[in-house]
Amino acid sequence: MSQWADLPKELLEMISKRLDLRVEVLRFRAVCSSWRCSVSPPSFDQEIPPLFLKLPPPFRTLDPIFADAVLMQTTICRMEFLCNYSNSSCSLAKSSLVKVGESKHGKLQPFHPLSNQETKDSFMSLNLLDLKFVQLSKACLLKWPGGISVYGINKVVVFPLSAGCIDNCELGILAIYHEGKLGYWRYGDKEWTLLDDRNFEYDDIIVYEGQFYVVDRWGTVSWIDSSLKVIQYSPPLYGCGGQKNLVESCGDLYVVDRYLDGERRTWKDYEDVMDTNDNPLYEDVMDTNDNPLRFWRLMNKARPMTVDFRVYKLDEEWGTWVDIKSLGDRIFILGVDCSFSVSCRDLSGGKGNCIYFYDSLYVGERMSGGAIHVFRFEDHSIDNLAVIPDYSEIFWPANIGSSA
């Protein structure tokens, strides 16, 4: 420790300026007294104004309360609890997955990595000297100020126009919306830019090796260059599943093919409930909350549930898809706003060769009628996490989000 404590102050200042998360700043200050003196603690007294975005149609409401959306950015971490023993320098006692966000006053707020459910537990009760945070992935979600997710947005990633994208005017967003359209919006734009006017069947988007990749419903993977051009990267998979996800694992890109027990919504369903100006169609009959009945019915239409998975990896040399029969010690996590993988050896109670995912019957004002499930490759079984509590130990806290 003495060698680390003797690092030049100028070097410590340079390191501290590269810390993006407040949890990283707190952890940095917890190393030793010299590190603590080199950087000021983050303030938790002054309210941080949220990043309001005036989204153009089709994401707007007539209610002025929901005039602006809020970009919620979180980080998924492996939180390691470290314990000192007399016979060794430092031994890993426990490691769990947690999603870290910030409250309006900048305090660290934990969320469940899959369901996005806010937990009542606080990091402030933990000794940061006993913790290590390893960043696994980042996630973005668009919400209205009241905490309701923006309906119609399926996936969002921040698309910076420059390496130092910190101001609103430099912010760009890539989004899959209306169950398949791929669009781009820059802060201040009056409308969305449709990146592909021939394909409205995109399923997922991911940042892989610093590049943006998308996959459509047929399993064709494409990448998006700096000029927002969509370039095909792989041949079609033609998997029989109803929904595709992209997951990075051990440096490779995988396509997860999800089989459903019914038909999904498509972009055509949204076309039927929008007018030419992308506003919800109002009918003569309104519901009890004065919402357009046709649009409200779409929002409350039950979604199909997951019944099976298959996983594929591209053989780049031969240009063919390889059907993966086992994930080994890897765990795939398919969250609401991001997907990632982790080794079960790095987690407490972790069991490999499985996929954690969230199934929700309904979307709209809240995720409802759903729960976290676990798919096990060895027998293709699917269980609600609530009935296999041992599998919930990989999350912190373990009892959050296991049931509806």
Task: Provide the pLDDT for residue 90.
Answer: 42
Contact criterion met (CB below 8 Å) for 221 and 215: yes
Report if pTM > 0.75: yes
Element (H, E) at 194: strand 193-194
Task: Provide the pLDDT for residue 287.
Answer: 46
**Residues of the chain under the 50 pLDDT cut:** 1, 46-47, 84-92, 161-164, 166, 282-288, 290, 363-369, 401, 403-404
Task: Provide the pLDDT for residue 398.
Answer: 66
Q: What tokens were used for 31?
A: 């190393």
CA distance 326 to 97: 22
Please work out, in degrees rounded to the nearest 5, the angle formed at the alpha carbon of residue 220 by the alpha carbons of 218 and 224: 135
Query: Between the CA of residue 241 and those of 203, 244, 259, 262, 312, what are the distances in Å?
Result: 12, 7, 4, 11, 12
Contact criterion met (CB below 8 Å) for 201 and 219: no
Cα–Cα nearest to 321, from 257, 381, 376: 257
**Exposed, middle or buried, 237 (CB in 10 Å: 0-12/13-18/19+)?**
buried
pLDDT of 322-365, one tens digit each?
Answer: 999 999 999 999 998 999 999 999 888 779 999 999 887 654 43
Q: Which residues pair with 188 in a beta bridge?
A: none
Task: Provide the pLDDT for residue 67.
Answer: 63
Edge-to-edge order in the sheet of strand 211-216? 202-208, 211-216, 221-224, 230-232
| Amino acid letter for position 140 | C
